[in-house]
Amino acid sequence: MADVAVNIRDRLGWVTIDNPPVNALGRAVRQGLQDAVLHLRDAGVRAVVLSGAGRGFVAGADIRELGQPPVAPFLPDVLAAISDSTVPWVAAMNGLALGGGLEVAMACHARIASPDTKLGLPEVNIGIIPGSGGTVRLPRLVPMATAIKLATGGKPIGAQEALETGLIDRLATGDLLAEAAAMANELAATGRPDPALLRDLVAGEAIDWSAQEAQLRRRSRGAQAPLEALASLRCAAQEPVDLALAGERDRFLRLAASDEAAALRHVFFAERAAGRALKQADAAAADLSSVGVIGGGTMGAGIATALLLAGAQVRLIERDATAAAAARARVAETIAASVRRGAVAASGGESALALLRTGTDYAALTDCPLVIEAVFEDMDIKREVFAKLDAVMPAEAVLATNTSYLDVDELARTTRDPARILGLHFFSPAHVMKLLEVVRGEATGARALATGGALARLLGKIPVVAGVCDGFIGNRIMASYRRDCEFMLEEGALPHEIDAAMQAFGFAMGIHAVQDMSGLDIAWAWRRARAAHRDPSERYAHIADRLCAAGRLGRKAGKGWYDYSSGKAEIDPEVTRILEEESARAGRTRKAFTKQEIMERILSTMQRAGQAVLDEGIAETPGDIDVVMITGYGFPRHRGGPMYMAGTPG
């Protein structure tokens, strides 16, 4: 029984799940647990302590088994056997107690956890719900409002919150196993507590189930699993336990075989595979305890914030003292906003800000093994910055640019050693967005790549390796479907119709609302810079240019694709008039588009652009493209990404 060790010591049974790296509940573990119950039943122990070997309790099911038909022994039966044990089982948790892992703990008669433990039911993130009684036991341990949050949101909570809500009975203050043993002995003396299924629902505020459902339906944007988790909890509240358990299992099995779950498993694996090449880079990464940032505008301040919150010292260089002071204020405000949102503790915010030095002198950067440039998107300015870096930085320092579109190779060629140059393309807001495109230039060396990978790990970001082209992976694909959306406008669609189709598909916002939010001027400048090289025979829609020329630069101007004078986005007849004029100019008769036609156009444009990016070697795998579009551009995760939808293998 390599996967589950069973020992008897001091009249206690010690059951240890040992299935590295995360003690996933694969078949052998389930078998081991079932055998342990039988073995200990006849061994005369007073109580049992169940724990996980290594860094954590149990991180969940073995995700590789999830796409397959379930194999015996089934987890619900194993958990029933634990609950039915006449002697108390105490779950002793540390590290991760997630999904099936938390279900195991809830089937025990009592729970204790180290302060570092994260407890949760993240099943909805992979398109399923707990399938072994999790939604039936949970509201018998915590108030229903907490149960709804845990099971439908998929986010774990910390041990302290778990204690306050009743999910665990005790917080270990010292040695987890010793304190679990003490608890087991106490329970053996006072009598085994009822298992969760024999308890009443925890009393709490009354739940308005229809309101909950309506709210969740809006939030989950077409994903089914969160709604099924809610329905399952509702049964747990309103039906007898046996029916609720059977209903949950049915839902679980149906969802496990669904397209949504298959798509989400694809994304799960694609995210873990992304950036693998960086880990394999044949060189040591630069030390990241002190990082230089040049330019403290929107992106530089966000990048600095991300670094500071991860515990790195930051040397932020601006063009003059006034700009440096403004940059410091921007970082301070970004950190303060994170504290207000509850993403960071107040003390964490203060200590992060203490790690920041701002100034104008490049000499301050010389002990930074990595410097990230985030100045204006202008090749001449960036060149000047890299020339200064070249002059002062030690030979082994890695130098990165956050450019969105400029040619990283061209920039690298202006420096002494192009091997140490790479692109690190962050997304705005840089301290929040999970995606990091690591741009590998033709000369980028292994140390620079390894450093990109190490930076992503430090900041908790998902790195995707991209080659050099106009817009790398994400912006290039976005530019292509943005252009096609303008063609659709010219052919007869209206901005709000395209946005509504995208939202119905699962995007949080439509492309026009997004453009209004971030401003139409950046893309306008980009188009003007290319105007001279444009092939005159190529189709070109002038609509966005006309909007910009009329001062409609988006929300900040009070109008863009929509009118914001009332405070919210309203359809603007002025925009419709411009569209009609442009259709006439292009000689097109306007026609109506259905939501489906709009989405088919957008998807096929994305897929064609994605295929081109693959063919040119800009992206390494179709999965990488899906990760970029989902984590950087709001593509609905439960659809698996554009390349997955195209049926591209891998």
Tell me which of 385, 469, 541, 625 binds ligand NAD, using CB under 6 A. Answer: 385
Residue 214 Ramachandran class (φ > 0 left, ψ -120 to 50 alpha, else beta): alpha
State yes or no: cis peptide before 240, omega within 30 of 0. Answer: no
What is the rounded (10 degree) CA torsion for 607, 611, 613, 615?
180
The contacts of residue 453 (CB under 8 Å, 6+ apart) are 275, 278, 279, 281, 285, 438, 463
- Minimum CB distance to ligand NAD, residue 292 (Å): 11
Give me 487's structure tokens.
Answer: 């063609």
State yes or no: cis peptide before 429, omega within 30 of 0. Answer: yes
What angle (nearest 5°) sits at the alpha carbon of residue 311, between those of residues 309 and 317?
80
- Minimum CB distance to ligand NAD, residue 293 (Å): 9
Nearer to ligand NAD, 241 or 381 (CB): 381
Distance of CA 102 to the CA centre of its chain: 21
Q: In 3D, which of 299, 275, 267 has the Cα closest to residue 630?
A: 267
Tell me which of 295, 471, 510, 642 binds ligand NAD, using CB under 6 A. Answer: 295
- Minimum CB distance to ligand NAD, residue 151 (Å): 35
**Residue ranges in 407-426 that form contacts with ligand NAD under rule CB under 6 A:** 425-426
Environment class of 345 (CB within 10 Å of its CB; exposed 0-12, middle 13-18, buried 19+): exposed
- The phi, psi pair for 568, rounded to 5°, reads -130, 170
Task: Identify the active-site residue in 65, 123, 491, 581.
Answer: 123
Nearer to ligand NAD, 98 or 389 (CB): 389
- Minimum CB distance to ligand NAD, residue 611 (Å): 24
Q: Binding marks (x or -) toward ligand NAD, 79..118, rule CB under 6 A?
A: ----------------------------------------
Strand partners, 372: 293, 400
Q: Where are the beta strands (DSSP E) in 285-442?
A: 290-294, 313-317, 356-359, 370-373, 398-401, 421-426, 435-439
Please state, in angstroms and rounded to a whole number, the distance separating the CA atoms of residues 356 and 15: 48
Nearer to ligand NAD, 128 or 324 (CB): 324
Tell me which of 19, 220, 404, 415 binds ligand NAD, using CB under 6 A. Answer: 404
Tell me which of 238, 351, 428, 565 binds ligand NAD, using CB under 6 A. Answer: 428
- Does the annotation mark 103 as catalytic? yes
Query: Is the separation of the CB atoms in 491 and 585 below 8 Å?
Result: no
Strand partners, 279: none
Position 294 contacts ligand NAD (CB under 6 A):
yes
Position 459 contacts ligand NAD (CB under 6 A):
no
Position 226 contacts ligand NAD (CB under 6 A):
no
Nearer to ligand NAD, 380 or 535 (CB): 380
# of chain residues touching ligand NAD (CB under 6 A): 24
Nearest residue to ligand NAD, scored by beta-carbon proximity = 297
Q: In 3D, which of 20, 9, 15, 109 has the Cα closest to residue 58?
A: 20
Nearer to ligand NAD, 157 or 327 (CB): 327
Position 357 contacts ligand NAD (CB under 6 A):
no
Give me 573's structure tokens.
Answer: 């007849």
Nearer to ligand NAD, 122 or 632 (CB): 632
Position 371 contacts ligand NAD (CB under 6 A):
no
Tell me which of 93, 128, 288, 374 binds ligand NAD, using CB under 6 A. Answer: 374
- The phi, psi pair for 294, rounded to 5°, reads -115, 125
- Minimum CB distance to ligand NAD, residue 75 (Å): 44
Q: Angle 622-633/259-273 helices, nearest 10 degrees?
A: 100
Q: In 3D, which of 75, 92, 85 has the Cα closest to residue 130?
A: 75
Please state, in angstroms and rounded to a whole number, the distance separating the CA atoms of residues 426 and 411: 18
Tell me which of 106, 184, 256, 375 binds ligand NAD, using CB under 6 A. Answer: 375
- Minimum CB distance to ligand NAD, residue 23 (Å): 39
Distance of CA 345 to the CA centre of its chain: 21
Nearer to ligand NAD, 374 or 643 (CB): 374
Q: Which among 398-406, 411-419, 502-510, 627-635 is the span making contact with ligand NAD, rule CB under 6 A?
A: 398-406
Q: In 3D, which of 610, 253, 649 has the Cα closest to residue 466?
A: 610
Nearer to ligand NAD, 78 or 317 (CB): 317
Please state, in angstroms and rounded to a whole number, the distance separating the CA atoms of residues 566 and 544: 22
Q: Alpha carbon of 227 to those of 127, 138, 209: distances in Å?
A: 11, 17, 11
Nearer to ligand NAD, 239 or 409 (CB): 409
Tell me which of 299, 400, 547, 619 binds ligand NAD, using CB under 6 A. Answer: 299
Alpha helices by DSSP H, 239-320: 241-256, 259-273, 276-279, 298-309
- Minimum CB distance to ligand NAD, residue 381 (Å): 5
Q: Binding marks (x or -) toward ligand NAD, 491..510, rule CB under 6 A?
A: --------------------
- Minimum CB distance to ligand NAD, residue 441 (Å): 16
- Does the annotation mark 123 as catalytic? yes
Position 31 contacts ligand NAD (CB under 6 A):
no
Nearer to ligand NAD, 138 or 478 (CB): 478
Please state, in angstroms and rounded to a whole number, the distance separating the CA atoms of residues 32 and 96: 20
**Residue ranges in 306-335 that form contacts with ligand NAD under rule CB under 6 A:** 317-319, 323, 327
Nearer to ligand NAD, 296 or 642 (CB): 296
Tell me which of 134, 154, 156, 300 binds ligand NAD, using CB under 6 A. Answer: 300
Element (H, E) at 98: strand 96-98
Three-state SS string over 512-565 comes to: HHHHHHHCCHHHHHHHHHHHHHCCCCCCCCCHHHHHHHCCCCEHHHCECCCECC
Please state, in angstroms and rounded to a whole number, the distance separating the CA atoms of residues 497 and 484: 14
DSSP conformation class of 420: G
Position 632 contacts ligand NAD (CB under 6 A):
no
Nearer to ligand NAD, 388 or 546 (CB): 388
- Minimum CB distance to ligand NAD, residue 343 (Å): 20
- Minimum CB distance to ligand NAD, residue 184 (Å): 54
Please state, in angstroms and rounded to a whole number, the distance separating the CA atoms of residues 564 and 548: 15
Position 390 contacts ligand NAD (CB under 6 A):
no
Give me 517's structure tokens.
Answer: 């939010």
Task: Identify the active-site residue in 65, 103, 213, 597.
Answer: 103
Position 633 contacts ligand NAD (CB under 6 A):
no
Position 377 contacts ligand NAD (CB under 6 A):
yes
- Minimum CB distance to ligand NAD, residue 366 (Å): 16
Chain residues in the site for ligand NAD (CB under 6 A): 294-300, 317-319, 323, 327, 374-377, 381, 385, 402-404, 425-426, 428
Which residues form the catalytic set?
103, 123
